[in-house]
Amino acid sequence: MSKAQRVAIVTGGSRGIGRQVVLELAEEGYALVVNYAGNKADADETMAALAATGAKAIAFQADVADENAVNAMFDAAEREFGGVDVVVNMAGIMPVTPLVELDLDTLDRVIRTNLRGALLVTQQAALRVRPGGAIINTSSSITKFSRPGYTAYAATKGGVEAITLILARELRGRDITVNTVAPGPIDTELFLRGKDEETIARIAAEPPLGRMGTPEDIAPIVAFLAGPGRWINGQVVYANGGAV
């Protein structure tokens, strides 16, 4: 299939890295389903940016941890565009708290979105993505940094990596690649929330490249795995500027 015919679903696609991935794939000629959890203003802004590019796109509000909503999202993609070729799991939350202070409600919320949500979306992707397609999950270099305060987040991302590596093998013979991108610190509202300037400056100085990453650093990696990077399969790609 030509790129102009390919269809991508991007969860968490209304802001941050997800929005940049959406815009990158639009430039590559994909038709897009932009998933968002609840912030319609962000979704509207993203859709306006897509409209300016002439891309075919629809927005779809869905809680990725709700199996009925996820099924409906894939149904909408198939109804609107005829099928699905690429699924990118970008939806996630990142509360930061020491393990001894971690309350169970917060833990359950992180697991529900980051792990259950990724699993449900990936499950539908495995059932519906067409041959020649790609499933791309999102982990985090925090699994290697082991930075204090990120226990719940890192635990869910470790689970996402396990899902990815196993599914790549389960899809033998289907001509579908399954990979995970694991960014380091990225200049987004999700990462910067609650951090003071001194902490941000220290983290930005860690990579040999001497700066914090941006969504524009990550989106081309996703686009490569979605398209030409066919011989990369069952891998975790750490994208952190060399910090680990």
Cα separation, 147 vs 75, in Å, equals 39
Residue burial 165-189, b: 16+ Cβ < 10 Å; e: rest: bebbeebeeeebbbbbbbbbbbbbe
**153 given a catalytic annotation:** yes
Rounded Cα distance, 230 and 227, in Å: 7
Catalytic residue among 36, 150, 153, 238: 153
Sort strands 236-239 and 177-183 into parallel, antiparallel or unpaired.
parallel
107 by DSSP, 3-state: which? helix
3-class DSSP state of 37: coil
Q: Is 150 helix (H, G, I), strand (E, B) or coil?
A: coil
Q: In the sheet where 129-138 sits, what is the strand order?
A: 57-61, 31-36, 7-11, 84-89, 129-138, 177-183, 236-239
Distance between CA atoms of 132 and 15, rounded to whole angstroms? 27
Is the separation of the CB atoms in 213 and 186 below 8 Å? yes
| Residues near 234 by beta carbon (within 8 Å), at least 6 away in sequence | 164, 165, 168, 169, 177, 178, 179
What residues are labeled active site?
A: 153
